[in-house]
Amino acid sequence: MSVHIEAATGEIAESVLLPGDPLRAKYIAETFLENAVCYNNVRGMLGFTGTYKGNRVSIQGTGMGMPSASIYIHELINDYGAKNLVRIGTCGAIQQDVHLRDVLVAQAAATDSAMIRNQFPGFDFPQIGNFELIKTAYEIGTGKGLELRVGNVLSSDVFYSENKEIVSKLGRHGVMAVEMETAALYYLTTKFNVKGLSLLTVSDHILTGEQTTAHERQTTFNDMIEVALETVAKS
């Protein structure tokens, strides 16, 4: 067991899907996995291991924000040997042509967090996803007829941002959407030389004010979940 995960060694698969919401982890385990077993209930941050089409996979909730997600990602890699870590999250669109329920592939992440900047004073260290996972996810998604959007996202420390003008400006500079964990995932997977990918479904639109409900967020992002499960099955 690690500090925040009570699984025994070997109970977590090399491929782990990472929703922020632990109830989304439960929903995915119950809906998509066979023989799913819950391996973690510490702090209610549920984690499950099962099989998807014969491939062993785990689903671990990470909580909201980079400090929380970093704890789980660090322990999954260093205490449990995770090799493929795929975030499956929600985000708010900050471009007019990105729409509610679109599935985004985060190629890279900008961030307002000091977490990474503090590791390299005076440098901007780029947060990028693993090319192989990005390519596989893109091919699987487009093969299913999804119009996946690939590009930059913003990982913010602040949900209720007062920097609306800067967020809009990032949108005008090609950033598709805002969420709160991808930069940390890409930093840690790069640092520890494992593979990281972030897939995001647009749950609300910052420019138009459109929103999905919490229930829809929990249950209706199946396109993204299937792309993630099939991507790690090939990795």
Ligand X SMILES: O=P(O)(O)O[C@H]1O[C@H](CO)[C@@H](O)[C@H]1O
**81 annotated as a binding-site residue:** no
Among ligand URA, ligand X, none, what does residue 181 contact (CB within 5–8 Å per kind)? Answer: ligand X
Q: Residue 103: which of 222, 218, 187 has the closest Cα?
A: 222
* SS3 category, 28: helix
The torsion defined by the Cα of 153, 190, 89 and 20, in degrees rounded to 10, comes to -130
Window 44-63: contact mask with ligand X (x via CB under 6 A): --------------------
Please give the distance of CA 149 from its chain centroid, rounded to a whole number.
15
Window 201-220: contact mask with ligand URA (x via CB under 6 A): --xx-x--------------
Query: Does 82 sit near ligand URA (CB under 6 A)?
Result: no
Query: Does 180 sit near ligand X (CB under 6 A)?
Result: yes
55 strand-pairing partners: 52
Among the listed ranges 76-84, 90-98, 128-136, 184-192, the one in contact with ligand URA (CB under 6 A) is: 90-98
Query: Does 198 sit near ligand URA (CB under 6 A)?
Result: no
| 101, two tokens | 């329920």
List, by residue number, the catalytic residues.
204
Rule CB under 6 A: which of 141-180 touch ligand URA? 159, 178-180
* SS3 category, 120: coil
- What CA–CA distances, in Å, run from 66 to 10, 57, 112, 135, 142? 26, 23, 11, 25, 29
Rule CB under 6 A: which of 150-169 touch ligand X? 159
* SS3 category, 50: strand
Please give the distance of CA 1 from its chain centroid, rounded to a whole number.
23
Query: Does 89 sit near ligand X (CB under 6 A)?
Result: yes
**Closer of 89 and 141 to ligand X (Cβ):** 89
Residues that bind ligand X (CB under 6 A): 19-21, 64, 89-90, 159, 179-181
Q: Which residues bind ligand URA (CB under 6 A)?
A: 90-92, 159, 178-180, 203-204, 206
